[in-house]
Amino acid sequence: MSDLEPINTLLSKLQGKFVGAEYSDTWGLGIQIGGFSKSGNATLFITPDDTEWGSKAYRVTTRYDNIDYVKTYDDIVNVAYWWYMNYKDREPFTQPSDYWIKDFLRLGLIKEKVMTTYEPVAS
């Protein structure tokens, strides 16, 4: 697993995706990030946890009490992608959130498909 990205770098990369904040007596301050398909928001807790693999990682919680441990911005992108892939067959989640499209493209997780349509010219 990769090195733990500094929280200030991670938060800088997440700018524009913040939708709120919360506080947990157990995990501390959490930043809510939008665009996680059916989950809606994910919460990134900014104090790293010790993990079972013996290193530090940030806790990200989503719907249904799912917990993911992430070390980098791209790890968070992959959590968002997981939510998109698992609910893309259901309305209104058929397209990825605008928050993540550029990152999904950058990581090669999706490709852009352009459709051409034609209209009659008024005479």
User: Model confidence at 99, in pLDDT bands (50, 70, 90)?
Assistant: very high
How far is the C-alpha of 46 from the C-alpha of 112, rounded, in Å?
33
Q: Provide the whole-model pTM.
A: 0.84
Q: What percent of the chain has pLDDT over 90?
A: 46
- Which tokens belong to 78? 């992959």
How far is the C-alpha of 34 from the C-alpha of 38, rounded, in Å?
11
User: Mean pLDDT, to the nearest integer, of 64-91?
Assistant: 91
pLDDT of residue 82 exceeding 60, the answer is yes
How far is the C-alpha of 84 from the C-alpha of 58, rounded, in Å?
21
Neighbour count for residue 2 (Cβ, 10 Å): 11
pLDDT (tens digit per residue) in 7-46: 899 999 998 888 889 888 888 889 999 988 887 899 999 8
* Mean pLDDT rounded to a whole number for the chain: 88
How far is the C-alpha of 60 from the C-alpha of 35, rounded, in Å?
14
